[in-house]
């Protein structure tokens, strides 16, 4: 804001607020502003020859208006001297980084921990292809204001990010940030799990800045931060704000072993690729198309219920915060220098940060798994949101057959949506080229965490502790996090680290109207109240899905996987996720 030489202010800093009091010679004219530190991303004291300013970057949540996000405000105060401005800047940053301070602390920059360094992995083609534009307009400006250093790398192809994180030197980074959709997060988690030092590597804090079309994990982060559901830039701004705040929470991962795949929800995810230009609406359209031709599939679903259901919440929803408002105003001052494929404010290049290691192979998943009944089609090469497995169009290329003698293991962090679908039909149809591209499943050559609850996929499950349901299913959906897409609150009870997989399955006999009601209720997260004998919701630690129909589509984290039996087990709190302030005690970046 323009400096007003006629106004003087007295600033007071507490552990939670900056009190800004305008001093006026006329009594009764004092204006007071209480600026919560929880709404600040950072502050600065511009170097000389600039005047001794204290600049505050404030992102207050906006009014409760759907689709509108938080608005950036910059407040600048001219200090009496440069040391004074620098002392204030240091003090505020100490509080934001949670450096222990008292009223007697002598503030200086030397008290601050080292500057945080983030590796941003940007998929320029995710969602509507706006990731780079959003980096320029929103992400990089806010990250700079939060005094965070970054190195930005644009991914050039599928599995580029996965190969990169397999080889980089991780101690250099305080976090790996996926600027894309859930598919790229999935790649990164699998890349980390493929390292010989996976146990340490997977503890690298991960963050997501939603630029995809489904953005399930970002939807969960936004929800648990207490914000109302939002999409696109408002969601991005909320997530970027939370990233800059920097709180970390443990994140469950799920290992999935599959030989083949199927599902109903998968069908929607895969087939709706053709509607990609519609953004998240493509899932709605895809769902409607699928429901119109509803079909059921034979299968066997087994799951191991938790002996003690270890929910981390008492069932009460997180405190709601108003919807944040979108900002583009106020950013005009930022230089719009073009962002290159690799850019950094740290003077390093991708090459420098690479640490060549022996190439290991394997596959881990981070997101969701969806099995969808019937034949699916992959138009772009795998990623997933919402799959409804009903019928399959016979004209579509058939389910994939992967001639793999071994089962494949991979990792996911959000959800698995198996819908009963046809069993593996290896014979008739060859995989499409895009599906072949999408098949980097290989056995892991080193000792990744064992699925101690599961026998090998080709061996029977123990009868004790397992529940098995065999019959005709319309869909089976396995979720690890609360959201299936940013606007699909599919597992309201799920928490990042509850140690549970949340299964929803729908059996044949359900009417189209009820199924439609179920999906619409899912948007608000109240689908558990949809009363139908065909719909079940259970929590478990592990499950196995055996399709008994001849063909189908199965997806994990939106990516098509081979059709056939699949099993999964949760590994509680294995990874770490940057979630910002969630109202609970969290570790700071």
Ligand X SMILES: Nc1ncnc2c1ncn2[C@@H]1O[C@H](COP(=O)(O)OP(=O)(O)OP(=O)(O)O)[C@@H](O)[C@H]1O
Residues assigned a catalytic role: 182
| Residue 512 contacts ligand X per CB under 6 A | no
| Residue 414 contacts ligand X per CB under 6 A | no
Instruction: Name residues whose C-beta falls within 8 Å of residue 352's C-beta, 6 or more positions apart in sequence.
Output: none
Instruction: Name residues whose C-beta falls within 8 Å of residue 536's C-beta, 6 or more positions apart in sequence.
Output: 503, 504, 505, 506, 507
Which among 174, 171, 128 is positioned nearest to 275, based on CA atoms?
128
Instruction: Name residues whose C-beta falls within 8 Å of residue 549's C-beta, 6 or more positions apart in sequence.
Output: 262, 297, 298, 299, 373, 420, 421, 422, 423
Q: Are 394 and 348 in contact (CB under 8 A)?
A: no
- Region of 118-126, 230-238, 306-314, 410-418 interacting with ligand X (CB under 6 A): 118-126
Q: Can you read off the two tokens belonging to residue 270? A: 């895969």
* Rounded Cα gap, residues 269 and 377, in angstroms: 9
CA distances to 82, 287, 417 from 479, rounded to whole Å, are 53, 18, 7
Type and span of the H or E element at 503: strand 501-507
| Residue 181 contacts ligand X per CB under 6 A | yes
Q: Judged by CB under 6 A, which of 52, 205, 212, 564 binds ligand X?
A: 212
| Residue 385 contacts ligand X per CB under 6 A | yes
Q: Can you read off the two tokens belonging to residue 245? A: 């705040």
| Residue 376 contacts ligand X per CB under 6 A | no
Residues in 39-78 at the binding interface with ligand X, rule: CB under 6 A: none
54 vs 388 by CB, closer to ligand X: 388
- Region of 26-34, 80-88, 157-165, 568-576 interacting with ligand X (CB under 6 A): 157-165
Minimal distance, residue 380 CB to ligand X, in Å: 7
Q: Judged by CB under 6 A, which of 383, 415, 544, 571 binds ligand X?
A: 383
42 vs 558 by CB, closer to ligand X: 558
Q: Judged by CB under 6 A, which of 44, 69, 147, 180 binds ligand X?
A: 180
* Rounded Cα gap, residues 128 and 213, in angstroms: 7
Residues in 134-153 at the binding interface with ligand X, rule: CB under 6 A: none
204 vs 272 by CB, closer to ligand X: 272
Edge-to-edge strands, sheet with 53-58: 40-44, 53-58, 73-78
Q: Are 355 and 167 in contact (CB under 8 A)?
A: yes
Residues in 544-563 at the binding interface with ligand X, rule: CB under 6 A: 558
- Phi-psi label, residue 238: left if phi above 0, alpha if psi -120 to 50, beta otherwise: alpha
| Residue 125 contacts ligand X per CB under 6 A | yes
- Region of 144-152, 181-189, 229-237, 534-542 interacting with ligand X (CB under 6 A): 181-189
366 vs 535 by CB, closer to ligand X: 366
Q: Judged by CB under 6 A, which of 93, 215, 255, 399 binds ligand X?
A: 215
124 vs 422 by CB, closer to ligand X: 124
Q: Can you read off the two tokens belonging to residue 499? A: 């140690």
| Residue 329 contacts ligand X per CB under 6 A | no
* Rounded Cα gap, residues 63 and 33, in angstroms: 18
| Residue 420 contacts ligand X per CB under 6 A | no
| Residue 156 contacts ligand X per CB under 6 A | yes
The alpha helices in 70-168, defined as continuous H runs, are 82-96, 131-134, 140-145, 160-167
Minimal distance, residue 273 CB to ligand X, in Å: 9
| Residue 214 contacts ligand X per CB under 6 A | yes
| Residue 565 contacts ligand X per CB under 6 A | no
Q: Judged by CB under 6 A, which of 44, 89, 93, 126 binds ligand X?
A: 126
182 vs 233 by CB, closer to ligand X: 182
Q: What string of DSSP letters covers 529-555?
A: G---TTEEEEEESEEEEEE-BS-EEEE
| Footprint of ligand X (CB under 6 A) | 123-127, 155-160, 180-184, 187, 212-215, 382-383, 385, 558
């Amino acid at each position: 804001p323009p400096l007003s030489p006629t106004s003087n202010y007295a600033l007071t800093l507490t552990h939670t607020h900056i009190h800004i009091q305008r001093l006026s010679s006329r009594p009764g004219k004092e204006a007071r502003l209480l600026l919560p530190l929880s709404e600040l991303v950072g502050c600065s004291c511009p170097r000389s020859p600039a005047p001794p300013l204290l600049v505050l970057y404030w992102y207050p949540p906006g009014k409760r208006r759907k689709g509108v996000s938080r608005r950036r405000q910059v407040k600048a105060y001219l200090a009496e001297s440069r040391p004074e401005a620098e002392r204030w800047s240091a003090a505020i940053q100490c509080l934001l980084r949670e450096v222990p301070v008292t009223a007697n602390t002598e503030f200086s920059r030397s008290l601050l921990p080292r500057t945080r360094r983030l590796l941003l992995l940007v998929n320029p083609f995710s969602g509507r292809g706006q990731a780079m534009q959003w980096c320029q307009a929103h992400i990089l400006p806010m990250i700079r204001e939060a005094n965070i250093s970054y190195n930005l790398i644009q991914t050039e192809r599928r599995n580029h990010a996965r190969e990169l994180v397999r080889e980089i030197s991780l101690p250099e980074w305080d976090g790996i940030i996926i600027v894309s959709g859930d598919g790229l997060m999935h790649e990164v988690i699998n890349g980390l799990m493929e390292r010989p030092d996976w146990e340490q590597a997977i503890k690298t804090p991960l963050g997501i800045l939603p630029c995809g079309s489904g953005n399930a994990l970002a939807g969960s982060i936004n929800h648990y931060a207490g914000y109302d559901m939002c999409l696109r830039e408002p969601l991005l701004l909320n997530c970027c704000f939370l990233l800059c705040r920097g709180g970390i929470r443990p994140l469950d991962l799920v290992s999935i072993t599959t030989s083949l795949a199927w599902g109903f929800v998968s069908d929607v995810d895969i087939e709706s690729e053709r509607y990609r230009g519609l953004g998240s609406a493509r899932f709605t359209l895809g769902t409607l198309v699928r429901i119109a031709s509803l079909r059921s599939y034979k299968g066997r679903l087994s799951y191991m219920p938790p002996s003690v259901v270890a929910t981390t919440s008492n069932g009460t929803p997180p405190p709601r915060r108003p919807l944040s408002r979108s900002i583009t105003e106020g950013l005009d001052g930022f230089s719009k220098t073009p962002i290159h494929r690799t850019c950094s404010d740290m003077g390093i290049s991708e090459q420098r940060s690479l640490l060549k290691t022996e190439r290991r192979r394997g596959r881990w998943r981070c997101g969701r798994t969806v099995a969808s009944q019937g034949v699916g089609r992959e138009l772009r090469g795998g990623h997933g949101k919402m799959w409804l497995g009903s019928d399959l169009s016979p004209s579509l290329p058939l389910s994939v057959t992967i001639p793999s003698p071994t089962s494949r293991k991979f990792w996911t962090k959000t959800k698995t949506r198996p819908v009963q679908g046809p069993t593996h039909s290896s014979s008739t149809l060859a995989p499409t080229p895009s599906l072949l591209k999408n098949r980097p499943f290989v056995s892991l050559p080193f000792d990744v965490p064992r699925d101690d609850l599961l026998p090998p996929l080709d061996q029977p499950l123990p009868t004790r502790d397992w529940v098995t349901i065999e019959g005709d299913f319309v869909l089976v959906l396995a979720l690890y996090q609360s959201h299936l897409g940013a606007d699909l609150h599919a597992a309201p009870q799920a928490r990042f680290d509850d140690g549970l997989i949340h299964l929803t399955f729908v059996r044949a006999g359900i009417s189209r109207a009820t199924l439609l009601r179920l999906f619409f209720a899912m948007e608000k997260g109240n689908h558990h109240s949809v009363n139908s004998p065909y719909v079940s919701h259970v929590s478990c630690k592990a499950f196995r899905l055996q399709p008994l129909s001849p063909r189908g589509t199965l997806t994990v984290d939106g990516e098509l996987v081979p059709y056939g039996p699949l099993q999964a087990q949760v590994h509680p709190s294995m990874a770490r996720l940057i979630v910002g302030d969630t109202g609970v005690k969290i570790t700071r970046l």
